[in-house]
Structure 1
Amino acid sequence: MTVFAVEYVYAADSEAARDEHRPAHREWLNGFVAAGRLLASGPYADGAGALLIFTAPDEAGLLQELKQDPFNVQNLVSALKVTEWQPVTGAFADYA
């Protein structure tokens, strides 16, 4: 499995809608946690977006999976960046 850093930029004025859909978003994320594929996730302190660290066989497949995130289904993410990451030290180094 390859490790990917996924960056979400939240849509402007979407805070109330994110609050509404956060339980479904976290349930969706927890499926990846249970499968051992989501290593970490959380919002940026300024509320502008979030960072998610996934494992996946390939970027194309991960992008298809990300489309199913309730935040993406509800158009609460205005920009998405997926970058292959090769951690060499720390807690995630075993996944590289």
Structure 2
Amino acid sequence: MALFAVVYAYPAGSEGPRDTHRPAHRAFLSELADRGLILVSGPLSNPAGEGGLLIFRAASAEEALAHTEQDPFRLQGLVENVTVHEWKAAVGPLAESFGA
């Protein structure tokens, strides 16, 4: 298994709907974490706009992306763009746990 960084980009003006659906979104992600599929997730904020970062353990980028398909944020159209990158942890506890 490899690590994959899944990055969500949120559309402008989606703050209110995201607030509404955030409890279901976090419950969904917590379930994935309980199953050992997601290692960590959280919001991103940058000049280009808001988003989220999710670090998955998966066999492929396609598998990591598939894990997000039922995310309430995605189902409600609150994710404008999703990118997936294989991530090789080099230093720190994750690197030690995943054989870097």
Question: Deviation string for 1:24-81 (max 9, x for gaps)?
Answer: 1001100111112211111114561111111112111222221111100001010111
- Deviating more after overlay: 35-44 vs 77-86: 35-44
Q: Of the candidates 47, 50, 57, which is equivalent to residue 48 of structure 1?
A: 50
* Structure 2 letter corresponding to 1:35: R
Q: Is the 8 A contact 2:38 2:55 kept in 1?
A: yes
- How far 1:82 sits from its partner (Å)? 0.3
Identity of aligned residues (%): 45
Runs (5+) with no aligned partner, structure 2: none
2:13: which partner in 1? 13
Q: Of the candidates 56, 66, 76, which is equivalent to residue 64 of structure 1?
A: 66
Could you tell me the TM-score, scaled by structure 2's length? 0.87
Q: How many residues align?
A: 96
- Deviating more after overlay: 61-70 vs 39-48: 39-48
Q: What is the CA RMSD across the aligned residues, in angstroms?
A: 1.4
Whole-Å separation in 1 of the counterparts to 2:41 and 2:77? 19
- Deviating more after overlay: 85-94 vs 42-51: 42-51
Runs (5+) with no aligned partner, structure 1: none
Could you tell me the TM-score, scaled by structure 1's length? 0.91
Whole-Å separation in 1 of the counterparts to 2:6 and 2:24? 19
Whole-Å separation in 2 of the counterparts to 1:16 and 1:56? 32
Deviant stretches of 4+, over 2 Å? none
Q: Is the 8 A contact 2:6 2:64 kept in 1?
A: no
